[in-house]
Amino acid sequence: MTNLQDKKIDKFKSFNKEDWSSAYQNVEKELTKEPLKISKGNNIKNLNGTLLRNGPGILERGGQWVHHPFDGDGMITSIKFENGQPFLTNRFVKTQGYLEEEKINKFIYRGVFGTQKNGGILNNALDLKFKNIANTHVVKLGDEILALWEAAGPHAMDPDSLDTIGLTTLKGVLKPNEAFSAHPKTDLNSNTSSELLVTFGVQTGPKSTIRLMEFDNAGTNSGKLIFDRKDTFNGFAFLHDFAITTNWAIFLQNAIDFNPLPFVMGQRGAAQCLKSNPNKKAKFFFIPRESGLFRGQPPLTIDAPEGFVFHHVNAFEKDSKIVLDSIFYDDFPSVGPDENFRDIDFDKYPEGKLKRSIIDLKTKTCELETFSEQCCEFAVVNPKNLGLKATFSWMASTSQKLGNAPLQAIKKINLTSKEEISWSAGPSGFVSEPIMVPSENSSKEDEGFLFILLWNGERRGSDLVILDAKDLKELAVYELPISIPHGLHGSWVN
């Protein structure tokens, strides 16, 4: 693992696909408050808080593999720091589907991304039931930890033991199993609370309804819903993520068609029935936040650029314009029915690129600027700058400058000057989403820590790496006592 300037990044050795794919295995055990031993660097004194991560933890049952890792049951990892010493606890999210399948060691539910039950098409046709796999994100709301999966309701977990409490309606806010986004945003800049959790749910169909919710997440009212509105838009909406500014919640409706027939007939998973439509126009939906200046006003709809977006980085307001940074793909990436996700050809899949949309709310026009051609994902900003102008962003990226490949580096980019520096886990390390934790005693935007769960292909195990957010120097590396597959999203709880 090395730290170096971006101009040297092309000199990394190419990756070994077996090193990368070796991460795909079942998490073998659950641990409780297991102290982590440092393998490099030093403990960070006075560091207190908890790193939470979610991702698929069960990828195989009874000899059958999931078709896509996104179909794997969720597993929460908690790494709690007490004066710099970390302790690890991990638990599978004990959903109803998990318990049913664990009992017989067999998949009995179809997966959204193509996992089928045994028995072929006849045994899968007309079976439209989904298993809530609770595998995408994990956040703290009020006095509970929530394991999130966007197609259904959240699962509440005990914040100390991580024991699964069960599917929750958040004290009646949600209907049973109502969709609840896996990408809530923590707003630290609202005038109404010191911390708001802003999130949404979508009901899709020929018309799609977005429910925008804002929860107080600090003090005596922590966990209370304080703002709630619904807006309906034309067309099928595939909305994985969104962005916020002080006054707006911003959604990008990708130009996607959904043909459910292959799913109904047992031939494909639901996500495999999504397809980009070059004859359709992507749309931005601007929904006024109830905590902002335009409360109660109708939403705006504006044409969006071509491309497909899973994740947004940040947005901010500039006069009558909205500046929105996102990761754009040329097309919707999907693992086909006859492909093996552990042996995919990266060259056949579109790479994600950091791009900036500048949207004029008065003229309803949009300009698109490419910030970097290098493949990247999971980009973040300092949480204190979320919804405001941010100078820096940190992201997972490929080691190579062009083309698609596994994510093996952490890149910091100056969003004003476009200057970059990078840290490499190559040739045998593979990175995940960086979690940026700002320094408590500094007002400088890039002072703080980056936490990265890394797959160490050389030793076939997981590491926790802590980098200095300013210069990407390694501060500490811990070898984890469990092996964690390539995961998804996480958060930091003070």
Binding site for Fe cation, by residue number, is: 183, 240, 311, 489
Annotated binding site: which residue ranges?
A: 183, 240, 311, 489
Cβ pair 434, 390 in contact under 8 A: no
Dihedral, 156, 158, 161, 166 alpha carbons, nearest 10: -40
Can you tell me the distance from the alpha carbon of 467 to that of 476, in angstroms, rounded to the nearest whole number? 7
Burial (Cβ within 10 Å: 0-12, 13-18, ≥19) of residue 65: middle
* 3-state class percentages of the chain: helix first, strand second, coil last, to nearest 5: 10, 40, 50
Token representation of residue 473:
């120097």
Residue 207 identity: K
Neighbouring CB atoms inside 10 A of 105's CB total 11
Write down the residue that tokens 């980019």 correspond to. Answer: 413
Can you tell me the distance from the alpha carbon of 89 to that of 29, in angstroms, rounded to the nearest whole number? 10
Can you tell me the distance from the alpha carbon of 146 to that of 217, in angstroms, rounded to the nearest whole number? 13
Can you tell me the distance from the alpha carbon of 31 to that of 91, in angstroms, rounded to the nearest whole number? 8
Minimal CA–CA distance to 393: which of 318, 469, 444, 468? 469
